[in-house]
A and B are shown apart, each in its own frame.
Chain A
Amino acid sequence: MSTAAPAQARKRRLSQMELEEQLTGFLYILPATLLVAVFGLFPIGYAFYMSLRRWRVVDRGFVGLSNYQKALGDFLGAGIFVLGFVLLVVALVTWDRARGRREVDPIRRIGLPLVLAALGFLAISQGWERMYGEADRRFLNSLPVTFYYAMGSIPIQLAIALMLAYILFQKIRGQEFFRMIFFLPYVTPVIATALVFRFIFNPRPTSLANQILGVLGLEPKEWLFEPRPFLEVMFGLQLEGFWSGPSMALVSIIMFGIWTFVGYNTVIFLAGLGNIPRDVYEAAEIDGANPWQVFRHVIVPLLSPVTYYLALVGFIGTFKAFNHIYVMQEPSAQNTVITTSVSIFNTFYKASQFGYASAQAILLLIIILFLTYVQTRIFGERVFYG
């Protein structure tokens, strides 16, 4: 950074060479910066501008917040809904801090976070009721779908990846080979693999998924075509509203997501394992810890920053996820597989509601900024660009 000296004094002192230095610097960054400004920064402002207008293919003028009104239904409800999430984060932080301080007072340690969390859940459900009654629902419906998608895929894929990484880390023969194979689904073009999985999760009794069910002695299922909740289809569990869980179609897409991303997470976990100093677990082994104890009490805690990082990046990623869900959505699955990004795309591309789609996109941006904020400030140290 330049010092804050007055511009005039600086200018006089600038020699020919320094001027050249400045100029070269600007010229070098010009192409990249210009492109990012035009295609990365300007669109954010322009999307916001569009979101305030009635814009269906052609611009029909300013309409204020009515696109947002359409997406959210009721602003007060939306405010309460967001407040609920803020309370949940605060509850989590309070609990974490109390644990860090080894707080003994049970009211402070458990009571306060519990009360905060309960209030948070209450606010979320109350806010949701208010919004859902008034909204156009396309956007709102996408939120629980995205949430199910994240909650269904991330914990499982992290657990599998951690296990695989831990095994690969045991100086096992063929480590490179297995790493290469597990990473394969992640690099392969997702359009191709998603099309393959469309056939694997086909309702036909001869599809691979149904053949596997057949081996287990179960009836064939509709998979990607099935809008009914997974729990109901598989176990006959009939729950109400949000608790009914993801649809069978969404679960099929979640399985595809896990298949794709396990390898990526494994590679990151492997790198994280490589960063743990060897003597830490050698010491534990000398103290007589068995492999499971080493894993549970040494590896898992030391890897927790990596786990947090992957979980939050994965969570943000589900809000951005588009390609495979778009390819695997079947009309008969209805809106049970439409995540936020797909909803925005459909509103823009199929329904040609440019203004309304922009409003949804801005809301998505706000969600992602909120999650990124939580990630950097609260779970912090290991940020992507830090």
Chain B
Amino acid sequence: MAETARQLEGLAGVPRTGVRVRRPVGATLGHLLMYAILLVGTVIAVLPFYWMIAASLMTYGETALRQWWPEVPQWANYVEAWTEAKFSKYFMNSVVITAVTVSGQLLTSILAAYAFARIRFWGREVIFAVLLSTIMIPSMVTMIPNFLMIRGSIIPLPGGSWLNTLQGITVPYMASVFSIFLLRQFFAQIPWELWDAARMDGASHTRFLFQIVLPISKAPIFTVLIFAFIGAWNDFLWPLLVTTKDTWRPLMVGLWTFATEAGPETNLMMAGATITVIPILVVYFLTQKQYTEGIATSGLKG
């Protein structure tokens, strides 16, 4: 691995002007150079992942040395991280938290997006504009009041403080202006003839939404679902604030507390990091086309 990396760097060092000077053979030479750059980029992008997985399979001694691959892969590291370092607990917490957040967010976003796109009601544009303006508010501003709110210090909450509870972690994230925005774009494009026909048949908005709109909106809903999933799974700051015990601590916070409290066991920490990363990578590899396209369209055209 290291050797290829070095060879590639050598290739990339070919002066840029080479393309210009040898224009006749430029097509192939230029392609070679382009592939060389892409390969160097690939190595740089992937190397940290390789290092993480390699270190997760080493003994503690090997991680401290100049090792590129463990002598004998220590699969027991994963068992230890999973059971003794409580990654199984964190993992289950993350699964539940993500599932609850994503389904809540989807439900509220679909309803709101449908209303903003297809129902005429008083103050619609103003309310939508106000919601949109919250997108740029940094979470550092809302964090402190929200913490007090969830602790029950601002208004009394059912059941007292919501610190260390599932609802405390999930409820603030059950609405997403970004998801509403994306879905509204799509819902607005559905031809009005469909609605007129449905209305003729006596369908209500609810029936139209669930029987006609949702089945034809699978693609955008799926995009929103992936965004919500990755957002909820990767969230760190908020769960860090509202969990002081293991009860509902998700993987990200569990990994961080392990890193700060468990001392220098690099190999176990890397096993934990790998466990944290795997679900995201699986989801990403399965859905990367929709995901990257979603990023591109939402980031550009809006």
Q: Is the CB of B288 within 8 A of A192?
A: no
For residue B25, CB closer than 8 A to chain A, the reply is no
For residue A351, CB closer than 8 A to chain B, the reply is no
B42 partner, pick from A181, A341, A357, beta carbons under 8 A: A181
Q: Is the CB of B288 within 8 A of A191?
A: no
Q: Is the CB of A24 within 8 A of B134?
A: no
For residue B116, CB closer than 8 A to chain A, the reply is yes
Distance, CA A199 to CA B273, complexed state (A) = 13
For A306, the closest partner residue in chain B by CB is B300
User: Closest CB of chain B to A6's CB: distance in Å?
Assistant: 14
Q: Is the CB of B144 within 8 A of A195?
A: no
Chain A: residues with Cβ within 8 Å of the partner, total of 100
User: Closest CB of chain B to A23's CB: distance in Å?
Assistant: 8
For residue B44, CB closer than 8 A to chain A, the reply is yes
For B154, the closest partner residue in chain A by CB is A46
Q: Is the CB of A264 within 8 A of B295?
A: yes
Distance, CA A99 to CA B138, complexed state (A) = 35
B residues less than 8 Å from A372 (CB atoms)? 136
Distance, CA A43 to CA B172, complexed state (A) = 12
A28 partner, pick from B114, B135, B230, B289, beta carbons under 8 A: B114
For A208, the closest partner residue in chain B by CB is B51
For residue B125, CB closer than 8 A to chain A, the reply is yes
Distance, CA A32 to CA B172, complexed state (A) = 10
For residue A386, CB closer than 8 A to chain B, the reply is yes
- Indicate whether A319 sits within 8 Å of B296 (C-beta atoms), given known contacts A29-B111, A182-B41: no
Q: Is the CB of A192 within 8 A of B45?
A: no
B residues less than 8 Å from A32 (CB atoms)? 108-109, 111-112, 131, 175, 180
A residues less than 8 Å from B120 (CB atoms)? 2, 21-22, 25
B residues less than 8 Å from A386 (CB atoms)? 302
Q: Is the CB of A33 within 8 A of B292?
A: no
User: Closest CB of chain A to B234's CB: distance in Å?
Assistant: 5
User: Closest CB of chain A to B170's CB: distance in Å?
Assistant: 11
Interface string of B118-148 (1 = CB under 8 A from A): 0111111101001110111111111111101
A residues less than 8 Å from B34 (CB atoms)? 167, 170, 172
A residues less than 8 Å from B31 (CB atoms)? 172
B140 partner, pick from A46, A306, A322, beta carbons under 8 A: A322
For residue B270, CB closer than 8 A to chain A, the reply is yes
Q: Is the CB of B280 within 8 A of A354?
A: no
Q: Is the CB of A50 within 8 A of B64?
A: no
For residue B228, CB closer than 8 A to chain A, the reply is no
Q: Is the CB of B119 within 8 A of A361?
A: no
User: Closest CB of chain B to A259's CB: distance in Å?
Assistant: 7
For residue A286, CB closer than 8 A to chain B, the reply is no
Q: Is the CB of A2 within 8 A of B122?
A: yes
For B240, the closest partner residue in chain A by CB is A349
Q: Is the CB of B45 within 8 A of A215?
A: no
Distance, CA A369 to CA B51, complexed state (A) = 40
Distance, CA A340 to CA B139, complexed state (A) = 12
B residues less than 8 Å from A264 (CB atoms)? 295
Listed stretches B74-82, B159-167, B212-220, B251-259; interface member: B251-259
Distance, CA A361 to CA B145, complexed state (A) = 11
Distance, CA A344 to CA B140, complexed state (A) = 7
A residues less than 8 Å from B49 (CB atoms)? 184, 188, 196
- Indicate whether A211 sits within 8 Å of B66 (C-beta atoms), given known contacts A29-B116, A184-B49, A385-B135: yes
For residue B281, CB closer than 8 A to chain A, the reply is yes
For residue B38, CB closer than 8 A to chain A, the reply is yes
- Indicate whether A29 sits within 8 Å of B20 (C-beta atoms), given known contacts A35-B174, A364-B140: no
Within 8 A of B (CB), among A126-181: 160, 163-164, 167-168, 170, 172, 174, 176, 178-181
For A292, the closest partner residue in chain B by CB is B20
Q: Is the CB of A164 within 8 A of B41?
A: yes
For residue A110, CB closer than 8 A to chain B, the reply is no
User: Closest CB of chain B to A44's CB: distance in Å?
Assistant: 6
Within 8 A of B (CB), among A235-254: none
User: Closest CB of chain B to A362's CB: distance in Å?
Assistant: 7
User: Closest CB of chain B to A160's CB: distance in Å?
Assistant: 8
Q: Is the CB of A322 within 8 A of B237?
A: yes
User: Closest CB of chain A to B80's CB: distance in Å?
Assistant: 17
Binding site for B on A (CB under 8 A): 1-2, 21-22, 24-26, 28-29, 31-33, 35-36, 38-44, 46-47, 50, 160, 163-164, 167-168, 170, 172, 174, 176, 178-185, 187-193, 195-197, 199-200, 204, 206, 208, 211, 215, 259, 262-264, 267-268, 270-272, 275, 290-292, 306, 309, 316, 319-320, 322-323, 327, 340-341, 344-345, 348-349, 354, 357-358, 361-362, 364-365, 368-369, 372, 382-386
- 5 smallest CB-CB distances across A and B, nearest first, come from A25-B121, A28-B115, A35-B175, A271-B296, A43-B145
**8 A-B contact pairs sorted by A residue (CB < 8 Å):** A22-B122, A28-B115, A31-B174, A33-B112, A39-B146, A39-B175, A348-B144, A357-B144
Given contacts A2-B120, A163-B37, A195-B259, 5 further A-B contacts (CB under 8 A): A29-B115, A35-B108, A275-B300, A309-B300, A361-B144
